[in-house]
Chains A and B, each alone.
Chain A
Amino acid sequence: MNAIPTRDGFGTELVALGKERKDIVVVSADLEDATRAEFFKKEFPDRFFSLGIAEQDMVGTAVGLALEGYVVFASSFAVFMTNRAYDMIRIDVCQNDANVKIVCSHAGITVGEDGATAQCLEDLALMRVLPNMVVLCPVDTIEAKKATRWMAENFGPCYMRTSRAAVPVITNEADPFIVGKANVMREGKDAAIMACGLMVSEGLKAAEILKKEGIDVRVLNMHTIKPIDADAIIKSAQETGAIVTAEEHQMAGGLGSAVCEVLAQKSPVPVEMIGMNDAYGETGDPEGLLKKYHMKDVDIAQAVKRAIKRKK
């Protein structure tokens, strides 16, 4: 299977958009090489602004440009943007309802060797609690392209998480991508895995493992963390009776929490969560880290069995 970082899809689509529209501008804080905003910079230097290593200033500047009518993409690493510039994102972007698209690479434990400070495991939680914000986590490079285009075409604050690590390409250009609507990657009746980003692939592998044991598992690609697809969650809960969430993120506050908020209020069923359990990461190779912190296909498969066992 072909594997490409989702940041590449972002960078590529940004250039396509820049060719089609004059109102697309990009701001960056010296990481455009890594976020792939550089693709745009090379094509449209007049519409690209580097603010230096100053994320707070970058977000504020993005808002000023947006309030003057531009569609502004602001990119950095997830830690620097969502953690350091949070006050600017909360007030300048979200309270002012500015048309700013925040795109962050280097999220999750698979940032790897750079270690704990660089591995953002809080971004989905931080962005999800902000009113006016849409939160996206594309599953592969093809979906990252579609999400980038959707953000340009729809007014309002957005956050998109992209990956540094190459992730398997598991969708096709023709597949639907509707923000707020989860994609069923595999049907199943015994339990449902709801995952985002890289963990969707792990979930699909888990389903294969379980199939051999006669367990039939549905897998959902939750590319939109906010607005969460409550209908799909309730439907899966009612049809399968057991849910496992999986994300490269703290268990608290992210996709798992968003799913549980819906289930607890509308359709309670047993839930098991895969993610970081209230801990920071550490240096190491991405694969080794995923294993150490129990975010692999086998971990998801075990979680599914636990959830099924808890069914009444």
Chain B
Amino acid sequence: MVNRLKGAFVAEQKMDVKALRRKAIEFRRQILEITNSAGSGHPGGSLSAVEILVSLYHYKLRHRPMDPHWAERDRLIISKGHASPVTYVALADSGYFPKEELKTFRKLGARLQGHVHRKVPGVELNTGSLGHGLSVANGMALAAKMKKKDFKIYCLLGDGEIQEGSVWEAAMSSAHFHLNNVCVIVDYNKIQENGLVSEIMNLEPLADKWRSFGWEVAEANGHNFEDLKKALDKFDRSKKPYVIIAHTNKGKGISFMEGKSKWHGKAPNKDELAAALKELEGQEKS
């Protein structure tokens, strides 16, 4: 990766895949722990986005955790605002706030609200109602162009989320304004609250949809770091707004959660947490 600015927190040019895999397991552990402790939350769509966020925070993003408002930082908008567990875990891991604070997730008086909130250092936008993030990302991208700044705007969208028409209004705008500084990542885990995306409201042919809207499209295995790296690096050379369709599994990493819509918005109880952590322990050893 090109170091676009000296002094920035730019992760290693080479990806230490082994270290990132360990990090992913740690992220999953914490996602399960904080949703269990909160007694509610959205583990499924957080587990599916783990490798995406690890890749961003530990490989791709130009950022300074000690200076969250640094003007030159890359912006990341979590448009699927219910992916708060993985977002907060990633931010705490990078040092935006103490890990200790993760225990306050969803509790009264906490900064860590159920859906991501700007009070939390590192969060760019309050979200939760779906279909909002890309328009805001476009606004930031227009601002970057006007100010001749080279920071990039990343935007994480859920697959169910892109059933919202406003996403396509925004997708049209990104191309219209030639915003090649916008990178969307679709967490395509194929499951939404009430079942399969393909059955509830089919998105396919998804890549063609984005292409027809004027976007450059990359597809990646969203749990494979090398694959994500390749797709993220290609964005740097894109002449168009760029979307990575990241194929993922909802509930990834926990056998009894994978592919199950009921884990979209349900926290594991004590026994389920224990079983899940045991599985993660096994993955750590392998």
A interface residues with partner B (beta carbon < 8 Å): 25, 46-47, 49, 51-52, 54, 56-70, 87-88, 91-92, 95-96
Contacts and interface: CB of A to CB of B under 8 A. Distances in A.
Contact of B172 (A46, A49, A52, A58): A52
A41 B135 CA distance: 21
B135 A67 contact: no
Nearest to B115: A91
Nearest to B153: A64
Interface of B: 118, 124-129, 131-144, 146-147, 165-166, 169-170, 172-173, 176-177
Contact of B142 (A54, A56, A59, A64): A64
Given A56-B135, A88-B132, 20 more contacts: A25-B146, A51-B173, A54-B173, A56-B169, A57-B138, A60-B139, A60-B166, A61-B138, A61-B142, A63-B136, A63-B139, A64-B138, A64-B141, A65-B143, A67-B125, A67-B139, A68-B140, A91-B126, A91-B129, A92-B135
Closest 8 A/B residue pairs (Cβ): A64-B139, A60-B135, A68-B143, A57-B169, A54-B169, A61-B139, A64-B136, A64-B140
B126 A57 contact: no
A92 B143 contact: no
A64 B179 CA distance: 13
**Which among B118, B136, B138 has the greatest number of chain A C-beta atoms within 10 A?**
B136
A64 B169 contact: no
21 contacts: A47-B146, A54-B173, A56-B131, A56-B166, A57-B138, A57-B172, A60-B139, A61-B138, A63-B125, A64-B135, A64-B136, A64-B138, A64-B140, A64-B141, A64-B143, A65-B139, A67-B136, A68-B143, A87-B129, A88-B166, A91-B129
A88 B134 CA distance: 12
A62 B137 CA distance: 10
A61 B173 contact: yes
Nearest to B127: A91
Contacts of B141: 64
Contacts of B136: 60-61, 63-64, 67, 92
Contacts of A65: 139-140, 142-143
Contacts of B134: 60
Interface of B is mostly: helix
B241 to A, nearest CB: 14
Contact of A95 (B126, B131, B137, B172): B126
A68 B176 CA distance: 20
Nearest to B125: A96
B257 to A, nearest CB: 29
Contact of A60 (B138, B147, B176): B138
Contacts of B176: 52
Nearest to A87: B129
Nearest to A69: B143
A60 B140 contact: no
A59 B143 contact: no
Contacts of A62: 139
Contacts of B170: 57, 60-61
Contacts of A66: 139
Contact of A91 (B128, B144, B172): B128
Q: B138, B147, B172 — which one has the most chain A CB atoms within 10 A of its CB?
A: B138
Nearest to B136: A64
A65 B172 CA distance: 17
Contacts of B143: 64-65, 68-70
A67 B151 CA distance: 14
Nearest to B165: A56
